[in-house]
Structure 1
Amino acid sequence: MHRKTQSRTRLLAAAESVFYDQGITTTSIDTVARAAEVTKPTVYTHFPSKSALAAAALTARHARRRAELDACLAAADPGVERVLTVFACLGTWYERGGHRGCAFVNAATQSPADSEILRAAREEKRWLNDTLTTLCAQAGLANPDLVASQLLLLIDGVAGRVAVQGHPAAAEAIDAATQAARALTTAAGGWP
């Protein structure tokens, strides 16, 4: 791998970790550069601003989350079970990390309305809503758009619970969200 590419890769990984753990607004470029073991000028060689770096880190996180969810869904039975697999995959993610809730929600709350950070967060949520809508439609649920929106509210609710109550609250929150998702899908015509 070319040295410049290695620096960019390290920067993205460090930015993702540091911004998630410490917050975007409270973290300096110097902190990210130290975590990535690069110089501050190297940061600006790859990214014109802290916002651009944070947005790129969110985009990289989204690509990994998307691949993880795609793998979970590919292994799931079709129908409502595939819809509920989203919650199982979410549970696996929280078991591995996720101690501060959803990085995308966190980033959105720290960003001005016109920022590239907020655009990256919105893109991830739009993709997840579209994915849920497709899964609900494939499962034959009535009002797949509405059910998908409700399921996304449950997912974001888990993130909020974890952000406020801490990582130990994740398992209980995911269990409650999964039960609510099952009730929603059943009410929309899925099997009980």
Structure 2
Amino acid sequence: MSPRRSARNQLVTSAEEVFYHRGFAATAVDTVAQEAGVSKPTLYAHFSGKSDLAATALRHRHAEAAEELEEWLAGVEDPADRPSAVFSWLAHRYESKGGRGCAFLNAAAEVVDPEDPVRQAVLGEKRWLRELLTTLCAQAGAPAPERIASQLLLLVDGVAGRVVVEGPQAAARAVADAADAAAVLLGAGRR
């Protein structure tokens, strides 16, 4: 890997961690550059500014989570069980990487300009998740899969809200409650 590519990758990885743990507004690009072990001019050689860097970091986080979730779902044989399996994956994700809730919702709370690249990254991730849930619900035989998927996404986002408000110790209970509610929604949809 070339040093230029390596510096970019290090910036993205560091930005993902720093923005997630410290917040977007509260974190200067100098901090990200320092954490990445690169100079500020190197940062600007790769990114046009803080929003560009943060959006790239969010897209990186999304790609990692999407791959992880798709692998998780591939291990679920019965299509009827896959929508619920999203919640078991969510429990795993919060346990391993989710101490501050959803990075995308946190970013959306801080960046309100709909044209900002950060906001666009958030919209893209939420659109992807809703589409995935819609597909899973359709494959599970749920009537009105778009509607149930939207309701499931509200549960997913509700877990994130609970974690932001109550801290990471609330994640397990919040996911369990959301999974119970998801089972009711999915069960009602099959009747």
Q: So what's the TM-score if we normalise by structure 2?
A: 0.98
Post-superposition CA distance 1:22-64 (Å, at most 9, x none):
1111100000001000000000000001000000000000000
1:18: which partner in 2? Answer: 18
Q: Which runs of 4+ in 1 moved over 4 A?
A: none
Secondary structure, counterpart of 1:5 in structure 2? helix
Distance in 2 (CA, whole Å) between partners of 1:79 and 1:10 is 38
Residue matched to 2:62 = 62
Q: Deviations over 1:130-165 (max 9, x none)?
A: 000000000110110000000000000000000010
Q: CA deviation at 1:78?
A: 2.3
Instruction: Say yes or no: does 1:134 pair with 2:145.
Output: no
- Report if the CA contact (8 A) 1:107-1:118 is conserved: yes
Following superposition of structure 1 onto structure 2, how do residues 29-68 of structure 1 map, counting pairs within 5 Å?
Answer: 29-68=29-68
Q: Which amino acid aligns with 1:163?
A: V
Query: In the TM superposition, what is the alpha-carbon distance from 1:71 to its structure 2 partner?
Result: 0.0
Question: Match of 1:100, SS?
Answer: coil
Output aligned runs, 1:1-192, within 5 Å.
1-111=1-111, 112-189=113-190
Please report how far the alpha carbon of residue 114 of structure 1 lies from its aligned counterpart in structure 2 after TM superposition: 1.7
Query: Which runs of no fewer than 5 residues in structure 1 stay unpaired?
Result: none
Shift of 1:113: 2.2
Contact kept, 8 Å, 1:80 with 1:185, in 2: the verdict is no
Where do 5+ consecutive residues of structure 2 fail to align? none
Which deviations, in whole Å up to 9, do the C-alpha atoms of 1:63-116 show, x marking residues without a partner?
000100110111112233111111111111111121110000011111122211
Aligned pair count reads 190
Distance across 1 between alignment mates of 2:93 and 2:30: 29
Q: Percent identity?
A: 48
